[in-house]
Homo-oligomer: A and B are copies of this chain.
């Protein structure tokens, strides 16, 4: 592998000049520049990024911490972040936190130890306090799907409460009054906010919240089935079920169908997130669109702007979810 030294020799200039040609920031005469470029070409020179990093104290790498490397939600997030960053010549180092405090800490430590220029994270188990403390360190931290008031300039978040509201409102608009709710784990702020939105929608339409129709799920398919089983076994009366994410909605639909419900006539179901397979289900699942890709892209832009000083305007920090009406919801027939 050719080094900058060999290039400088062949071109008949100094190391520094070669470096200048590469970094385009200081002026070099066109003639010398061309000599250097030719020499590089001839030697097939490729700068050693490690040496560049050591000397410049920049690694051009951005750490990404997601809860899981699999699943449609994180897939979209990683894909959008990676492609935006890669287009700018930066690369991503990805690791998983598994929604677990210890592992999230370790993941962040790991990324910091790799000298990432910034870290974009989707953390669920770490407290605001911990993150505020951590962000006093050298590595700039950015948060997706989280709002921390003190660090609001580094946060990209979704208005989950509005999303929860929209889902329940859609059911109400279809005439449903007995609306069951299967929530996500309440230690996750998005799960809490979606639930709050649900309650607001009920309150706004003068529907008394019925504790019987609440089931505490865990965002996984099985808790969707279990939730529905719980409502049915207890003979609670309901014509619609709002699920805090699509996986649970899919579990609920599956259970309902296996127990003789015709969907959506006997039961309306709505999910949240709009993951890819929501549209593969039968009936296709109505849901709340979660603009993850856009949020990921925006996180990348934010890093490009703050850390790499790119000129980027129009940073949007809070995103709004929208309702997607599909075949799994229908007019309520029970109530007059």
Contact = CB atoms under 8 A, between A and B. Distances in A.
Given A113-B46, A115-B48, A115-B49, A69 B79 contact: yes
Interface string A68-80: 1111101110110
Contacts of A50: 50, 53-54, 59, 115
A20 interface: no
A276 B86 CA distance: 29
A92 B91 contact: no
Contacts of A54: 48, 50-51, 54
A221 B75 CA distance: 18
Contact of A94 (B74, B82, B115): B82
A236 interface: no
Contacts of A72: 70-72
Contact of A86 (B68, B78, B110, B281): B110
A76 B74 CA distance: 12
A82 B251 CA distance: 29
Contacts of A68: 75, 79
Nearest to A86: B95
A277 interface: yes
A128 B183 CA distance: 50
Contacts of A282: 253-254, 257, 281-282
A25 B108 CA distance: 28
A72 to B, nearest CB: 7
Contacts of A82: 69, 94-96
Interface in A60-105: 61, 68-72, 74-76, 78-79, 82-83, 86, 91-96
A250 interface: yes
A280 interface: yes
A255 to B, nearest CB: 11
Contacts of A74: 75
A114 interface: yes
Contact of A75 (B69, B113, B251): B69
A280 B78 CA distance: 24
Contacts of A221: 280
A296 B302 CA distance: 33
A227 to B, nearest CB: 16
Contacts of A1: 138
B96 A93 contact: no
- Top 5 A-B pairs, shortest CB-CB distance: A70-B75, A69-B79, A277-B277, A50-B53, A250-B280
27 contacts: A1-B138, A48-B115, A50-B50, A50-B115, A68-B75, A68-B79, A69-B75, A69-B78, A70-B75, A70-B78, A70-B79, A71-B75, A75-B75, A78-B94, A82-B94, A82-B95, A91-B95, A91-B110, A92-B94, A92-B95, A93-B93, A250-B277, A250-B280, A253-B282, A257-B282, A281-B281, A281-B282
